[in-house]
Every structure is written in C-alpha cells, then in structure tokens.
Structure 1
Amino acid sequence: MNTGRRGWLRSIGIAALLTMVVAPTPAVAQEEQKPPVTVPALTDWAPESGSYVYGPRTRIVADTGAERRVAGTLADDLRAAGHGTVPVVRGGARAGDIVIDVRPAESALGTEGYELHAGKRLSVTGATGAGAFYGTRTLLQLLARGDRIPAGRTVDVPRYKERGVGVCACYIHVSLPWLENLVREMAYHKLNQLLLELKVKSGAHPEANTWGYYTKDEMRRLVALGEKYHVEIIPEINSPGHMDPWIENRPDLQLTDSDGTRQPSRLDITRPAAFDYYTSLMDEYAQVFTAKSWHMGADEYMLGSDFAKYPQVLKYAQDRYGPGATPQDAFVDFVNRVHDHAAGKGVDLRIWNDGLTGANTVPVRTDTTVEHWLNVAVKPSQLIAQGYSVMNAAYSLYLIRGGFHSDTGSLYDQSWDPRAFEGEKLTSARGVTGAKVSLWPDNGRGETENEVAVRLWPALRHIAQATWGVPHPDATYAEFVARGTAVGHAPGWRDLTRVPVADGTYTFGRSFTASVQRTADGYVTLRSAAGCLAISGGRLTLNVPLQPGVEATWDTCDATNTLQRWELEPATGGFRLVNAITRMALTVTDDGRIVQYPPDQRPPAVWPLT
C-alpha cells in the first residue's frame, strides 16, 4: 500500500501535487476576487494574493500631527471594538502594522477620499486628515469580520460632499446617549452632517426655556464628539415659522392677524425686535456650535393660513421694496437679513425650499443652500440654474414618530440617488450637494427613541450608500441588509435597550412597590394594584405632556401607551426613573407627590430597589 502511494507521488511530481492541494476551487477563487464587505460598498477593489493579518503585535504608525490625530481615534475605536490596545508609534513600519499617511499632494483623493492597501501591512492614505479618517472606518468594518483581511487595494472617493441625517429634537427632547450613538454610527458609515433642530437653554432669554432644551455643556460634549468623528453638527432654530418653542412667552413678537389674534408659532417679521431676538439666539448658539453653517428652517411660515390675513406684512414689503412688492418679499427680506448676519460671522445659511414659491420679486441670496423637501412651483433644476446649491431632503426619506416611515427597501430597489427629488428627477448631479434622511416627532408619543433607532439604521445605511458610492451595489435589498448586518454597529455604540434589573417585584425606597417588566423596546413598565405608572396630565405638545411638575399617576395599564414606559437609569445608591417619551426624571416633592422635572431644574430622585 505504501509502495503504491510513493509510486503515485513520483508519477505526478511533488510540485503538481502541492498545486492540487492548495489551489482554491473556482468558487473560492471567485469569492476572493470580490471586494470585502463594507457600507458604503467598495467599487474599486483590486485584489492581490495573500492577506493582511491584524494581531497582538500590530501598531499604528503615524508621524505628523494630522496623522496622529487620526491614529489616536483609530486606537480608541479598536479598543472599543474589542481589538485590544494598539500603540501609536512613529516611523519604521513592519509586517502587521497599520500605517496612517496624510499626503496633501494626493489631490485626486479630494478632501474626503482615501486609498487603502492591505498586504503584509495595511496603509491608509488621504490628502487630508478627514480622508485618512474615512479610510480607518473601512478598516474597522473589515476587522468586524475577523482579523484577516484579503490583500488588495482600493481608491474610495465620495460622490457627494453632503451626506447627512436631520433630527428634530425641537419639541420632544432626544436623549444625549441616543444622539451620541447616532454620531458614531454616522461616522462609521461615512456620513458627515448632523443637522440638528433643537433648543439650547438660553441665558439671554430665560423666558424661552420651556422643555425640552439641552444645556450648553451637553451640546459642547456632542459637538466635541462630532469633531472627533468628522461629523459637522449644524444647528437649526426654525424661523420665522414654527417659533412657538421660543416665543410662546413673548406675545410681543408673535404675528397678529387682521382679527387681532396672535399666532404663537409665527414671528412678526415686520418688527425690528423680532429680528434682534432671533439673531441674539444665533449669537448665543455660536458659543456652543463650531459649524460653518446655520439652518434657519424658513418652512411653512403661512401653514394653514395666507398672507392676506396679515396686511402689515404687505405694507412692510411695499415700504421697503416699492409698490410692486409682494408679501413674500417681506419673508425673503427676513431670510436675507439672517443670511447677512450669519455671513458676517463667516457662517453659511441653509433653508428649506417650500417658501420659495416664485411669488417674490426679491431673490434669496444665491449662496444660500436650499434643502428641497416639498414639490412646489419652483423646481430643483430652476434653483440650480439660478445659482443655488441644493440638498435633497425628500419627503420619501422621512421617518416620523407614529407616522410615515421611509420605504428603504423600495428606494433601494429603484436605485434611488440624490438626483431624484420630490417632483423632479435630474439628469445631472451638478448643483446637488447630497442628501439626508430626516426624523420628525409629529406624534411625539407615537414611538420611543429605541423604536425610532430600529427604523433608522437601515435608512442610515442606505443614505450612506447612495451619497458616497453607487446606489445599488447588491442585486437585492435583502443582500444589502445583510451587508449592513455584517459590518455591525460602530465602535463605542451603546445598546440602549439593556435593562439593568431583572423582571420582578421591587420596592422603590419608601415611595411604592411595583412589578417591573421589560418592554420589547428596552424600557420597563411599573405595575401596581392601582395600575401602571404614567405621565398623563398637563398641556400637550405634539401629543406629549411636556410641562415640568406634572404628576406621575397610576393609570389603567396599556401596553401601547408609550407614556407608561420608563428608563431605569443607574445612579449612586439606586436608580433614577426617566420617562421614555418626555425625557424628564421623576422627583419627590416635600408633600410626597412624584412629579417630572428636567434634571437641571430639580434633582432627580434616586430609589434603592429591594
């Protein structure tokens, strides 16, 4: 038997046998030729033989200041992703190392493109720190599938410069951990703009500090995270419509109709004091935000009404621009004055498109970026022809709490890209800055933050793909979803659905005893003989009781009632209770009542659980 085998070996030759043993099957060879799985997908992958192996001796080699900043962030993220502690060193790369290279002369890569080469070592090259940073996002996604990366090279440059997510945290407070998760996920998928409509607690105008605001320190923390991860956080105070969060306690600034009725959501653009008030808020935001853009909204100013009910607006326009002026000219005048205030501080202006109906004789400043969401008379092609930069913020990309949700699968199957606006499909991308998905709280109690997150991640990955690369990298949407699942979540992403205690009956200090049960979306309900703990009183805003001081009550249990869901927030000595929708914490009054308050107004109660 052995003699026969030795004869067979001699007859075919040792070299030929080795070839038979190690040569991959045709299917395996074809698989090795495919680009590694990432989101956005790599479309310029040139495979090579062998592989790069990440291991315990891996170092990050970076020399210049820009390179070391990228390397430091990468080291943090490798550790957060469970890949160990990797030292950052200068010079002398060896096998297994990661090399960060910023070369300004590589102008073909643009400001955000990069080249990645995997061989015995792995190098990431960008013309800027941002480009090298995005190359490290690809590296992190490749390592999410294991420590061995197929050898090859890619040059990866975004198709659009603005790749974003818009969040209205303007009425319903969105928790800071949720926003921090969003920033990390955006960066991981190479999105670069978080357009955030929100209220920052004002020192100049304390009368405006109705809930739900953010403190300046909270926003500084978010802005710092955005800067670390190359996500520009662009603030918005919507005006001159939708101003009710700011002027409900300022009737002197509210637009008054011909019947003498004040409109708490509309700023009176004819009053100098209104412009001064708005720009003072802009200046206060400049203490927190570092973005080079300001979003003033400018949408739906006459929503549900018309200019004819406000004759003072027409008079203002005619006094300023002559007898041929229209009420719309007064609106455009306000936009342009805000533009000029921002430009004086080196900041660009952004607005929504629906106010540009063509009824104006005064044009909006052409260096204003227009975010197109609604199909009105003036089309995107006309705006671009007039010299405006236009971002696609189509209604089809919206996710609304308790309402419309973007059909990501359908958009993917249509090979949607940022040229496809509401009402018009452009043949060229000229003048189109990019696109964003938008989250709105129209029915603030319709879904919890954790439920919104489940809906968001597929839409986020799709907009990343459509704005960075080709819109349809996989044959089916199911394959694209699998691509997203394979790369997973960003390093440092927190699972906010984890509940820190097991289901069971607990006594909350001296206040009450209740059965604690986890909900499907990662909160808890508190059930006693009297019912389920809820926030149900007070004046409603977007269907949510947002007044501080509203008492928590024991209501009839209803699994669909999101106001009966609570976050158990660990604290020294026990737990705080934060309502899943109002985002206010419970505190105990001197007379024993349990009420909700923002944590910076009243210290939250901390309950030991027994």
Structure 2
Amino acid sequence: MLIGPVPAARASAEAEAAGPATPPAAAPPAAASPGTAPVTVPALTDWTPRVGTYAFGRGARLVVDPRDREARRVAATLGGDLRAAGHGTVPVVNGGARPGDIVIDVEPARKRSLGREGYEFTAGREVAITGATGTGAFYGTRTLLQLLASGGRIPAGRTVDVPRYAERGVGVCACYIHITPDWLENLVRDMAYNKLNQLLLELKVKSDKHPEANTWGYYTKDEIRRLVALGEKYHVTVIPEINSPGHMDPWIENRPDLQLTDSDGKPQPSRLDVTASEAFAYYTSLIDEYAEVFPAGSWHMGADEYMLGSDFAKYPHILEYARKKYGPDATPQDAFIDFVNRVHDYAATKGKRLRIWNDGLTGDHTVPVRAGTTVEHWLNVRTKPSELIAQGYPLLNASYSLYLVRGGFHMNTESLYEQRWDPRSFEGEKLASADGITGAKISLWPDNGRGDTENEVAAGMYLPLRYIAQTTWGVPGPDATYAGFTARAEAVGHAPGHRDLTRLPVAEGTYTLSDSEGRTDLGDREIRRTADGYATLRSTTGGLCAETRSGRLTLNTPLQPGTPVTEETCDPANTLQRWQLTAVPGGYTLTNAITRMAVHVTEDGRLLQYPTDQKRPAVWRLAPH
C-alpha cells in the first residue's frame, strides 16, 4: 500500500455472506479454450453447445416460483437492468415458462455442486438460470446481460460456472482526495457485472462524534448509506478502512494529544500513539460510528507503514510499553502488534473480522497477530506469504503489480496477461498451490492527487478491473492473446445503468457566465471539453483559465475549503484547470475536477471553493455568443 489461526482455506465472513466459492484446486487449470462459448467476462470455460438459439423478444418474461423470495429479488434486479440496457420492461411472473422466457430459480440443495456463488445457465427455447443461493442466481443474470449486450440472440448451450476464489475485489483509497459518489456507484455496477464481490474503501465519513476531524475529503453518512444499499442490491460488499495507527493525519491533525511524539518532543500528525489509552478509545469510537453505515462483517484497519521514514528508537516509550506488557524480551514492534490485536478484539465484539496490510509483519515482533486476521499482501518483506498461510492467516493477494496510482505507477495488464498472472503470484514469492489464498484485488491510490482525474482513472482501470475479474473467477488467459482478451472486454462493455461521466452538458463555444443571484460574473468564457470529459474556462479578454491552487497542499492538491478560484496561465496538462459542469435548476454549477469542491460566490462577489454541504454552490447562467 502507498500513502499510503483459522483453517487457511477459510474465507472472510463478508465473502461468505456474499457467497464464497467452492475451495480452489491446488493449482489453477491450464489456459481455457472456450471454443464456441459465447463471449463473457469472466469467460465461460465449460460451455456445452446445443442446437438452436435463444431469441430475446418483446414477449419475454422473468419466471419465478412465487414462494422463492430470493429468486424474486434477483428477478426484480434483472428487470431493472434489462430496462436500463434498453431491452424494455420485462415483467416478473409466476408459473410455467413459455418460449422466450427467462426462468430464475434458487435451489439450496445444489450448494454442493454450485457453491454459494456458482450457477447453472442453460439457453434454448428459453433461458434457465439456477443458483444454490440468490447470489449464485444473480451472477447467472450478469452472464445473461453480457450475452444480450451483443444482440438479442444467444446460442443454445449450457454451462456450470463456479468461481475459483472467494474474494474478488477492488480497493479504493477515497482518502484525502474525494471521489464522487457517482463514480463509486459506476464502479459497484461494473464490479457486479464482471462478478467481483468486494469493494474495500479507505475513506473518511463525516463524524458527528469528532467534528474537529471533518477536514475535506469526507463523505456524508447518507452518501455512504446509498452506496452500501447499491452494493447490497448488486452483491458487492463494501468494506471500510480507517488506516491506523499510521496514516492517521486525516483524523488527528487537529488532535495533538493523540499524536505520537518523539524523544525531541516533536509530534507526528500521521501517527497515533499506540501506547495511549485515549488513542485506542478514539479509534474504537470511529469503528462504532462507521458501524452505523457499514454493515459489512469486516473491518480494515490498514496497519501499514507505521514507522515509514522513521525509527522506533526515536520513541523509547514504545519499547517501555512493550516490555512492561510482554516482558524483557519484547520489541517495539510488539507494541504495534498489541494495538492491532486490541483492535481485532474490539472489532470482534461488533461482529467484524479484522483485515490488515502485510508490511507491519516484519518478523521483528514476538507477539503473534490474532488468529483469523485476514492479511492483504502488497509488499515483499521478511515474512513471506507461504509463512503467513502456514501460520493459518487467510491471505489476499494485493500485490503492488496490481496498483494504479494517480500520476504514478499503473498496473501493466498486458504484461500480467501474457505471463498468465494469477493470485498465487505474490510480491517476492510465487506459490505452487492456491490453498489458503482468499483471492486478489486491484488497488487505486491517490499519491499524486492531481496526477489524474477520476475520469482518467476510470478509463485506466477498465481492463485491469476485467482482468482481475477473469483471473479470480476463472482461468488467467481465456484468449490466446491480450488483444483477444481486450476485444472480449470491449464486447461486453459497461454494466446497465452505468453513467457516462465524461459527457459535457453544453456545447463547446463561447458563453457569458453570470451568477444567477447577480453577485458577480465570469465574463465571456471559451468552454472547451477536455479529453477526459471536463471543461476548461478560458477568458476571451485576458486569455487566462480558471483554476484553484491556493492553500496548503495535501498530496500535491489544494484541499482547504474557502480557498479562492483564480485566473492562471492556461495549461492543458494542469488538471486543476478542469471543471465539471452540472445542470441544475436555473443553470449550472462548477466543480473542480480534482478538489471536488464547487465554486461558491460570497456576498461581495469573491469566488471560493467549498464542499457542497458547507456552502451552497453558485448557479451560473450561460448565455451563448
């Protein structure tokens, strides 16, 4: 990560709730030869063709057993998605099927063969989708939607499709740099469409208990509730993370009493003092508050890079704490593990299993991490993945090779595909067996917050997301070439309901921009669409562009509310000069593409940036020339 024992095969609780796979084989099968299998992501590897074609038409119905509540719920979701995909209104009915219908069935007795997420899909005169759980049946409907994306006819055939790994995820650091809820909702839909089941979010929820921590970058609780509800509808578990005891500056920069202080008396705003009871109480109060909006059965505490750029020797009281608690042979690292274990125990009282990153498990500690803690392995340190599995820890592959960093490293999906990378390949070690590996995830990090806009990140992760879906559900290389896999991914496209966030709501041209309340105006502005779907606002008189750049920088980004919007030399590469225009009653609002704060106009006509829940955005009238 940047910025930023149970039986080893046992998956995390939230993966089980989402529908874990049957245990993977000791080694993955060879690359698939789909042959006549229709195109999907993940690919169908055991397709048995039959004679004929299923034809979707106006008379199609979604047929369920009226006593099967799970099947009815799946059918209702599918009906909405069919409508969003342009297939019209398809009714949900009870009773027998007729040609052209889609039958959805949940048969718990088939759990032995289908697991909790697998399904059987049969196409002929009608389509039949069967899962042992609602989750399995839901994934069968994703296959149907993908097959319909290339037309209304599906070749007759049958498949039994079961995932190889229980945890198939995307990690997003929506920390520091705010990412819009619309973007996250698009992500959830696309994840489900490609059969990914975990969204791991490091983020800040606006706190009622600790208002001093509400620096910008937060989400309101209502925003989180909507996202979680969408995840539940689409079988994507949203798991929250507050990274600790390092990287705590978003929470404790205004709480010096909780900060780790070195022997020279210098406080560290990013580090929580693991020896202080007040610090532990503060962190657990955040767990309590997050539990109000995140029902997931896991809690991610990060636990990475606590001593990054520093040394335990600068904090002698940490060693003193460790030896007082664990004896004269204890190490400073034991105090760190002690904090992790106390969080584990607290989370358990709330019904949540703990997740951590691996780099704190250096081998310099004598105290073991609590049994059952899921370890997400991203960095090659002395304690290897095979050792963690042997010790009984569930292990997720979160390798650095699967990272996309704003303005920095980007996952080389083509190279990984050609290598037939799979979740057994960790940083520093490749394992012969998949036993003990829960799955894998790609990770999105904002280390250079202004390096890419979120629309650029969305474009850059299109193929990585589909590759991690392929290699965690099925085989690593279903097509002979990467070009073949790219064509496969492009054929199925985005999920129904995916919103095009790159569409400019006005035509390019010159407009007079005036504040609808008459406090100021921006004069004549040339509005030009950027390649990533935002707009630049160039003055036709001075030739300068609107930008926000003032204030203290966080990750190279001006994130302080109330800082001014200024006129600067136009630079097409400068992402802080890109603006999102949003249609609202009476005109348009202007939101910076990077800071995600909107332009507010003061009573005396000054232009300042603020989160929309702090100050009302100005509404701008655009009069074309």
TM-score normalised per structure 1: 0.94
CA-to-aligned-CA distance 1:270-322 (integer Å, 9 cap, x gap): 00000000000010000001111110000000000111100010011011111
- 2:63 is the alignment partner of 1:54: no
- 2:601 is the alignment partner of 1:588: yes
Instruction: Pick the aligned partner of 1:191 from 193, 196, 211.
Output: 196
Instruction: Pick the aligned partner of 1:77 from 76, 81, 91.
Output: 81
User: 1:151 & 1:394 partners in 2: Cα distance?
Assistant: 39
User: 2:116 & 2:370 partners in 1: Cα distance?
Assistant: 26
- CA shift at 1:91, angstroms? 1.2
- CA shift at 1:70, angstroms? 0.2
- CA shift at 1:590, angstroms? 1.4
CA-to-aligned-CA distance 1:89-131 (integer Å, 9 cap, x gap): 1111111100000000002100000000001110000000000
CA-to-aligned-CA distance 1:360-388 (integer Å, 9 cap, x gap): 11100120000000000000000000010
Instruction: Pick the aligned partner of 2:99 from 88, 95, 100.
Output: 95
Instruction: Pick the aligned partner of 2:616 from 599, 603, 610.
Output: 603
Q: Secondary structure at the match of 1:124?
A: strand
Counterparts of residues 219-258 of structure 1 (less than 5 Å): 219-258=224-263
Aligned residue pairs, count: 580
Q: Is the 8 A contact 2:108 2:132 kept in 1?
A: yes
Q: Secondary structure at the match of 1:116?
A: strand
User: 2:34 & 2:589 partners in 1: Cα distance?
Assistant: 52
CA-to-aligned-CA distance 1:547-606 (integer Å, 9 cap, x gap): 000000000111110000000011110000000000000100111100000000001111
User: 2:228 & 2:428 partners in 1: Cα distance?
Assistant: 35
Q: 1:185 to 1:507 in 2, by over 3 A?
A: same
Q: Gapped runs of 5+ residues in structure 2? A: 1-32, 515-519
Q: Secondary structure at the match of 1:474?
A: coil
CA-to-aligned-CA distance 1:43-83 (integer Å, 9 cap, x gap): 01000000111100000011210000000000000000000
- CA shift at 1:32, angstroms? 11
Instruction: Pick the aligned partner of 2:170 from 149, 165, 171.
Output: 165
- 2:206 is the alignment partner of 1:175: no
Q: Secondary structure at the match of 2:448?
A: coil
Q: 1:32 to 1:599 in 2, by over 3 A?
A: closer
- 2:355 is the alignment partner of 1:350: yes
Instruction: Pick the aligned partner of 1:286 from 271, 286, 291.
Output: 291
User: 2:450 & 2:583 partners in 1: Cα distance?
Assistant: 24
- 2:313 is the alignment partner of 1:308: yes
User: 2:562 & 2:144 partners in 1: Cα distance?
Assistant: 49
Match of 1:524 in 2: 535
Match of 1:38 in 2: 40
Q: Secondary structure at the match of 1:150?
A: strand
Q: Secondary structure at the match of 2:109?
A: coil
CA-to-aligned-CA distance 1:479-514 (integer Å, 9 cap, x gap): 000000100110000111000001111112241121
Match of 2:502 in 1: 497
- 2:482 is the alignment partner of 1:477: yes
Match of 2:461 in 1: 456
- 2:568 is the alignment partner of 1:555: yes
**1:524 is matched by which residue type in structure 2?**
A
Q: Percent identity?
A: 73
User: 1:33 & 1:369 partners in 2: Cα distance?
Assistant: 38
User: 1:380 & 1:311 partners in 2: Cα distance?
Assistant: 31
CA-to-aligned-CA distance 1:449-508 (integer Å, 9 cap, x gap): 111111101000000000000000000000000000100110000111000001111112
User: 2:536 & 2:41 partners in 1: Cα distance?
Assistant: 37
Q: Secondary structure at the match of 1:125?
A: strand
**2:573 is matched by which residue type in structure 1?**
T
User: 1:211 & 1:274 partners in 2: Cα distance?
Assistant: 22
- CA shift at 1:226, angstroms? 0.3
User: 2:257 & 2:583 partners in 1: Cα distance?
Assistant: 44
**2:428 is matched by which residue type in structure 1?**
G
- 2:393 is the alignment partner of 1:388: yes
Q: Is the 8 A contact 2:355 2:375 kept in 1?
A: yes
- 2:579 is the alignment partner of 1:566: yes
User: 2:175 & 2:529 partners in 1: Cα distance?
Assistant: 29
Counterparts of residues 306-385 of structure 1 (less than 5 Å): 306-385=311-390
User: 1:33 & 1:182 partners in 2: Cα distance?
Assistant: 30
Instruction: Pick the aligned partner of 1:512 from 498, 506, 522.
Output: 522
- CA shift at 1:33, angstroms? 5.8
- CA shift at 1:241, angstroms? 0.1
Q: Secondary structure at the match of 2:336?
A: helix
User: 1:210 & 1:576 partners in 2: Cα distance?
Assistant: 22
CA-to-aligned-CA distance 1:405-446 (integer Å, 9 cap, x gap): 000000000000000000000000010000000000000000
Q: Secondary structure at the match of 1:609?
A: strand
User: 1:320 & 1:600 partners in 2: Cα distance?
Assistant: 46
Which structure carries more relative contact order (alpha carbon 8 Å, separation 6+)?
2
| The structure with more radius of gyration | 1
Match of 2:131 in 1: 126
- CA shift at 1:402, angstroms? 0.3
CA-to-aligned-CA distance 1:154-191 (integer Å, 9 cap, x gap): 00000000000000001000011100000000000000
User: 2:35 & 2:562 partners in 1: Cα distance?
Assistant: 63
Q: Is the 8 A contact 2:203 2:241 kept in 1?
A: yes
Q: Secondary structure at the match of 1:106?
A: helix
**2:575 is matched by which residue type in structure 1?**
T
User: 1:387 & 1:159 partners in 2: Cα distance?
Assistant: 20
Q: 1:559 to 1:32 in 2, by over 3 A?
A: closer
Q: Gapped runs of 5+ residues in structure 1? A: 1-30
User: 1:344 & 1:154 partners in 2: Cα distance?
Assistant: 42
Q: Is the 8 A contact 2:356 2:375 kept in 1?
A: yes
Match of 1:421 in 2: 426
Q: Secondary structure at the match of 2:621?
A: coil
- CA shift at 1:515, angstroms? 1.0
Instruction: Pick the aligned partner of 2:590 from 555, 563, 577.
Output: 577
**2:132 is matched by which residue type in structure 1?**
A
User: 2:216 & 2:321 partners in 1: Cα distance?
Assistant: 34
**1:577 is matched by which residue type in structure 2?**
L
Q: Is the 8 A contact 2:34 2:47 kept in 1?
A: no
Q: Is the 8 A contact 1:33 1:47 kept in 2?
A: no
Q: Secondary structure at the match of 1:354?
A: coil
Instruction: Pick the aligned partner of 1:148 from 137, 146, 153.
Output: 153
TM-score normalised per structure 2: 0.92
**1:538 is matched by which residue type in structure 2?**
G
User: 1:135 & 1:580 partners in 2: Cα distance?
Assistant: 37
**1:87 is matched by which residue type in structure 2?**
P
Q: Is the 8 A contact 1:137 1:189 kept in 2?
A: yes
